[in-house]
Amino acid sequence: MANEMTRASIPSEFYDITSPMLLTAPIPQFPHAKLVISSLNAALAANGEDMALPIPGRDVPQGAYNEYKTLEELEQMISNPLPRQAIQVVNDFRPEAGTPGHIVRYNRPRFTNTTHTALSRVVPAGTTIGTTPVSIQGDQVPLEVQRYAGPYNSTTGTPGPFAIDRFDASRSLHSFTRIVEQHFKYDYHKSLDSWLIALLDLAPTANILRGGGATADTDFAAEGSHPMDWRLLKRCARKMDDNNVPRMADGKRCVIMSPLQEEQLTTDPEYQRLSKTRDDQNPLFKDSYVAGVMDWHIFKSNTLTTAANANSATIHYAQAFGPEAIGWGLGGEMPKIIPNTNDNYAQTVLAVWLAWMAFGVLNENFLYSLRTS
């Protein structure tokens, strides 16, 4: 009976290692997921929460998708300032916050534009300053906590479990962890990646810019007719400046583009000239960070939205945004992997990942869509 596995007999290391991995080791090819997870980690660390870093004496799992192999590399995720600025995080771990429908509220000041001339503010000698108060105004953006689960069963059309066979579970812990990394983590991070992409695609119509002077998607006559270039990024930067979109602490904003758009941009002579003094180092985004040039932190991702127009030209949707355009929060408790009690007479364990989250757009005016073909 020693090799049988039930809900009670699964090695505790499986849960000790696996559940924190959902927050600390995003899959490299999903930079949007990495932004989300890194911002959540930074918020947890700022509040003194347990970051579930490796326990002394235990190795960090070395599975196929695990990019972080040392404590130092894990700490880079926490300390990197860019994710903390890109996504505004509010976590609420009170028990009631784990109930679907709980509201996480984000506060934003709303400044009044009154008279600001020097003459209007002069207080002559002997004049009494008025006592009528000026109200301080603000807005609240509510985001609703929902319970999310994975993986997804395409047959039933609902989330459903992975089945872990006793044979796999009875193998060494290292192999068992790799199974979890290759399935649970992939599904979880791909979900986060697609959710953030969908949010960043919600740029209002006025904030959609197209390459080569095109004014509509139908203007893209053929593949490559309107490529990504530095001029489009400059147009976007100017429009964001005109609309008072804030910048990150280092003076830049973020743009995420497809590999094809990145290839087109890096062959633009103007970009090549300006990028001679670029900052191309970001240890957190090793495989997706292109460069820091002028106004921009430039990233690439192969999971961005594409669409074909009536001319059969493929349109690539790059995403530009300022800080705190997106809000994200955990509610109730940390994401975790949970087994089902139905274990097929100790032959199979059914398990899902669960996360209680609230996320949404905080300010759509900070979102821009750059479309090229």
In percent, how much of the chain has pLDDT > 90? Answer: 40
Instruction: Give the pLDDT confidence score for residue 218 in this predicted structure.
Output: 92
Could you tell me if 358 and 148 are in contact, meaning their C-beta atoms sit under 8 angstroms apart? no
Residue 39 phi/psi, 5-degree rounding, is -70, -40
d(CA 318, CA 256): 6
The HSE-up count of residue 8 (CA atoms within 13 Å, CB side) is 2
Could you tell me if 145 and 105 are in contact, meaning their C-beta atoms sit under 8 angstroms apart? no
Q: DSSP letter at 302?
A: T
Please determine, for residue 259, whether its predicted confidence score (pLDDT) is greater than 90.
yes
What's the pLDDT band for 166 if we cut at 50, 70, 90?
low
**Residue among 65, 49, 297 at smallest CA distance from 189:** 65
Each residue's pLDDT tens digit, 329-351: 888 778 888 888 776 666 677 88
Could you tell me if 31 and 288 are in contact, meaning their C-beta atoms sit under 8 angstroms apart? yes
Q: How far apart are the first and last CA of the chain?
A: 61
**What would the mean pLDDT of 176-196 be, rounded to a whole number?**
81
The model's pTM: 0.81
**Residue among 49, 52, 58 at smallest CA distance from 74:** 52
d(CA 70, CA 29): 19
Each residue's pLDDT tens digit, 110-145: 888 788 899 988 999 989 898 998 888 888 888 999
Each residue's pLDDT tens digit, 12-63: 555 555 554 444 444 557 889 988 988 887 777 766 554 443 333 333 333 3
**Residue among 247, 249, 225 at smallest CA distance from 236:** 247
Any idea which of 43-47, 320-324, 353-357 has the lowest mean pLDDT? 43-47
Q: Which ranges constitute the DSSP H helices of the chain? A: 12-24, 31-46, 71-79, 81-86, 166-169, 173-180, 186-200, 230-242, 259-266, 269-274
In the chain, where the domains are located: 12-105+139-200+326-365, 209-322
